[in-house]
Chain A
Amino acid sequence: MQEIIIGIGVTALAGALAAVAGAAEDTESNIGSQGDPNSQVQLAPQMGYTHRIYNKAVSGEPPAYTLWVTLACGVAWAFLMLGVNAILAIIFGTVLATFVQGVYATTAYLGRTASLSKFGQPVFIDVVKSVTTVTMAHAFVAIFATVTVCYLMMTVIGHPFALPLLGIVWGLALGAAGSATGNPYYGKERQYQNQKFGAGVPISASGNIVRYAEAGQRSSIDNGFFTAKFGGPASGLCFGLIVFFELWRTIIFEDYLAGWGAVIVGALVIIIFMIIDRYVEVWARKNYGPYAVEA
């Protein structure tokens, strides 16, 4: 009984940490412009729209976060093997991974932006100085929370994978969940804030991203401020729910029906999510209506 209670507590804690990680991951990627919407940041100068948006998408979010989380997990694991306190070991690993993220972000921004010089796009050194550290701070939060989730899975819950291997699995899942949920909000809703609300961006508008703020040119940090109101929490909820339900169904129901209990409960949860999705889809069709008269 005590084991199950501890398991429930750890599941809740891991879910909460994952929610923080997801929110920080999406905000970091939006400030650094690393998701798919960055195609527009890269395209804009080629269409004649120079800007001051950060640009570090030399890889997608999932592989980038796989690298950083796995690196942090690997370093933390090495320190744990040396007998260092767990929290300290996780912090050491996270700090090193955050520095790697900083180097990655700086070189990516300089490289990608310099490649646009023939279109008149300048490299802004003040952007490197002001934005890189903000992305590093958010990356630290995301990496620390994810490594802690992996540590809980390895030690308290007793998953057979070693910490670096869990880092690969959950770093990739973090990037996949964050980019899937957060990218449309950053791309459609922020980069194309000048387009109609409640409709996709027409393909003919590609590259014409919003470049000016209330005063002066738009900063990438403002993009993080904007998306942290919806895209970030939605990504956090997504990753938090994934981690929570993955652990919850196994810890509580694995002992039933020789392990099939966790499988059946997992299938039921999937069906419930499917029903909610259908409800959301129908709700939108009824409340927003069609764009044109239905044939």
Chain B
Amino acid sequence: MSAIAAKPGANAGSFQPIPSVIAIVIAIVLVAAAYFLGSSGILAGGAMFVLQTLCLIILGAALIAFGVHFVPVGGAPAAMGQAPGIATGVAMLATGAGLAGLFGGAWAAELGLGVALASGAIGGALMMAITCLMVNISYVFGMGIPAASGKVEKDPITGDLQAAYKSQGTEGHGLPFISYVGGVIGGLFGGLGGTLIYIELLNFYNAGLPALGFVGAADINMLSVGLAGIFAIGMFLVIAVLSAYNITGTIEGPHDPKFKRFPRAIVAAILASAVCGLVAMLVVALF
């Protein structure tokens, strides 16, 4: 069958069990490899510590992938008021929120895991709450356009009718309240996941760097923070871009039919984060 004859849209977004099982099996093999490296002493901290670190990195990545699907992104059509959502790219907006969360989480890291994770989640949600508000202010007071969804008849939260508020020839515009709430939840999950990855890597590097021998005691924390920050940001981008591919362009938020595609992105995030997490941990391996 030629590429033209194939119908890529027929099963776009549907969950595909066989590739998903293969992805999960590869991820399990990578986790097992990390366990082996920990038990053999190549990775510092012991087998269980290595296992816990990698598993929590994978959990953080899954949270990010799930969170990206909540963020209402309209891309170029939203910039012309032709579609609802925020007028920028999925990956970049989600990453912006996630990194703002990571900033807060890293700042609170010394106060304990619970505070750091909560602070990271709130940081991401706060960034999205302000951005989404300014988007609506821009539409309403700058352009005189009310918010309207193109995917649902009624806003699932407020019950507001949507169809009559869509201007002619468009699929809706602005951010109806459900999309606003979706944006905040997306920032919450993004900040939480990003901070979890950062803290796990920070603890791992703090345990692993002294064993390398060539890093002075005074520099260990600075180097750990730098390495954990770079890898956390890098992994955030990987997961956000994977999720953006799953969304394919635009999404209105949790009420959009595309939202149901999230399990596929989570599977992809599990595999990608297992690879990236293992590579990040091998930076301090004792070969």
Contact = CB atoms under 8 A, between A and B. Distances in A.
B28 interface: no
B115 A62 contact: no
B143 A198 contact: yes
A93 interface: no
Interface string A55-89: 00000111100000000000000000000000000
Question: Secondary structure of the B side of the interface?
Answer: helix
Given A161-B226, A258-B112, A292-B164, 20 more contacts: A36-B76, A173-B96, A177-B96, A180-B86, A180-B135, A184-B81, A187-B79, A196-B167, A200-B167, A200-B169, A205-B169, A206-B80, A262-B122, A263-B115, A263-B122, A270-B129, A270-B184, A280-B133, A288-B146, A291-B168
B108 interface: yes
Interface in B15-63: none
Name the 8 nearest CB pairs between A and B, nearest first: A202-B169, A176-B96, A200-B81, A187-B79, A290-B164, A199-B167, A198-B144, A259-B111
Given A160-B109, A259-B112, A280 B143 contact: no
Contact of B119 (A162, A181, A250): A250
A209 to B, nearest CB: 10
14 contacts: A36-B78, A62-B93, A63-B92, A187-B81, A187-B87, A199-B170, A203-B171, A242-B127, A246-B123, A259-B112, A259-B119, A277-B180, A278-B158, A285-B165
Nearest to A161: B229
B80 A181 contact: no
Contact of B79 (A188, A246, A266): A188
Interface of B: 75-82, 86-89, 92-93, 95-97, 99-100, 102-104, 106-109, 111-112, 115, 118-119, 122-123, 125-127, 129-147, 158, 160-161, 163-177, 180-181, 184, 222, 225-226, 229-230, 233
A177 B225 CA distance: 26
Nearest to A293: B164
Contact of B143 (A182, A184, A205): A184
A179 interface: yes
A180 B87 contact: yes
A270 B211 CA distance: 43
B163 A183 contact: no
A259 B115 contact: yes
B169 A188 contact: no
Interface of A: 35-37, 39-40, 60-63, 159-162, 165-166, 168-170, 172-173, 175-177, 179-189, 191-192, 196-206, 230-231, 234-235, 237-238, 241-242, 245-246, 249-250, 254, 258-260, 262-263, 266-267, 269-270, 273-274, 276-278, 280-281, 283-285, 288, 290-295
Contacts of B89: 60, 62
Contact of B87 (A184, A260, A270): A184
Nearest to A192: B80
Nearest to B95: A172
Given A160-B225, A165-B229, A60 B164 contact: no
A242 B87 contact: no
Contacts of B100: 169, 173, 242, 246
Contacts of B166: 200, 291
Contact of B80 (A60, A201, A231, A267): A201
Contact of B167 (A62, A63, A246, A291): A291
Max count, chain A CB within 10 A of own CB: residue among B79, B177, B181: B79
A281 B81 contact: no
A170 B160 CA distance: 36
Nearest to A22: B134
Max count, chain B CB within 10 A of own CB: residue among A196, A234, A246: A246
A246 B138 contact: no
A280 B136 contact: yes
Nearest to A201: B80
A295 B125 contact: no
A260 B115 contact: yes
Contacts of A283: 140
Nearest to A281: B147
Max count, chain B CB within 10 A of own CB: residue among A199, A205, A249, A260: A199
A281 B133 CA distance: 10
Given A176-B93, A273-B133, A184 B126 contact: no
A235 B126 CA distance: 16
Contacts of B87: 35-37, 179-180, 183-184, 187
A186 B81 CA distance: 11
A200 B171 CA distance: 9
Max count, chain B CB within 10 A of own CB: residue among A173, A186, A234, A283: A173
Nearest to A174: B96
Contacts of A36: 75-76, 78-79, 87-88
A270 B92 contact: no
Contact of A60 (B88, B104, B144, B229): B88
